Amino acid sequence: QSALTQPASVSGSPGQSITISCTGTSSDVGGYNYVSWYQQHPGKVPKLIIYDVSNRPSGVSNRFSGSKSGNTASLTISGLQAEDEADYYCSSYTSSSTLDVVFGGGTKLTVL
Amino acid sequence: QVHLVQSGAEVKKPGASVKVSCKASGYTFTTYDVSWVRQAPGQGLEWMGWITPYNGNTNYAQRLQGRVTMTTDTSTRTTSMELRSLRSDDTAVYYCARGGTHRSGWSFDYWGQGTLVSVSS
């Protein structure tokens, strides 16, 4: 089971918006609305920021939003702030027989 | 307030076993499944499996089948993950996380602080 495909890096300036893509297949991203996104600062624990494609947990800024089209899910961060600089991982339920959850390889967000 | 507190770092030799524990607090322990996710140095996240505390049901990633066992003790609200026949590529930070099954929409809402397991001769 291959990991979901994410760009290795994205960058943006403060105040701008960026989008991170997460591409899978009809067996995972495209087939179920169980895509989640996690933010991980260096040396820190991953933090859930989006679940079920587009829902935000309580306390997560509304600058973070999620969507899905076909086999590709997207995380958009609007009004970029320096504190958003981190690694971002997507995950999805998968109908694979070898595992239940598959992660993306991660995207490093740099705030210029 | 939900907390997952893991045991400390471990250094093991190839072929040995390691057991990492995860003590939960702040919620009804038997209501949520506990999953394990690992992260090799500089790498991404890898799903390892989950356990249902109220009945002990488990499901493991196929690539770890035969080497991993997850257990739970409801009296101490503790979940443990044992990995056997360690190899150098098992060196990683191991996280427990709440959820990660159909009961929680396959997302992980709270994470332990992580336990570094180093495998080296």
The reported pLDDT for the residue numbered A48 is 98
A99 in B contact zone (CB under 8 Å): yes
Residue A60 has pLDDT above 60, yes or no: yes
How far, in Å, are A25, B1, B45, B87, B108 from residue A28 at the CA level? 6, 32, 16, 30, 17
Interface subset of A 10-69, CB within 8 angstroms of B: 32, 34, 36, 38, 45-48, 51-52, 57
Q: What angle do CA B111, B100, A66 make, to 5 degrees?
A: 85
Tens of pLDDT, residues B68-113: 999 999 999 999 999 999 999 999 999 999 999 999 989 999 999 9
Beta bridge partners of B34: B51, B98
Q: Model confidence over B46-71: pLDDT tens digits?
A: 999 999 999 999 999 999 999 999 99
Interatomic CA distance for residues A21 and A107, integer angstroms: 9
pLDDT at A61: 97
pLDDT at residue A44, as a whole number:
97
**CA closest to B101 among chain A residues:** A100
In B, which residues are within 8 Å of A52 by CB distance?
105, 107
- State pLDDT tens for residues A84-93: 999 999 999 9
pLDDT at A1 over 60: no
Q: Most A CBs within 10 Å: which of B52, B107, B113, as the mutation test of the A interface?
A: B107
Q: Is the pLDDT of residue A27 over 60?
A: yes
pLDDT range class, residue A56, cuts 50, 70, 90: very high
- From the list B62, B100, B112, the residue facing A101 with the nearest CB is B100
Residue A2 pLDDT exceeds 70: no
Q: Is there a contact between A108 and A8 (Cβ–Cβ < 8 Å)? A: yes
Dump pLDDT digits (tens) for B9-40: 999 999 999 999 999 999 999 999 999 999 99
User: For position A24, what pLDDT does the model report?
Assistant: 97
The single residue listed with the structure tokens 């602080």 is B113
Residue A97: its pLDDT value, please? 86
The candidate with the shortest Cα–Cα distance to B9, out of B92, B120, B121, is: B92
CB B97 within 8 A of CB B37: yes
Return the pLDDT at B6. 98
Residues from chain A that touch B59, judged by Cβ atoms under 8 A, are 100
Q: What is the DSSP letter of B41?
A: T
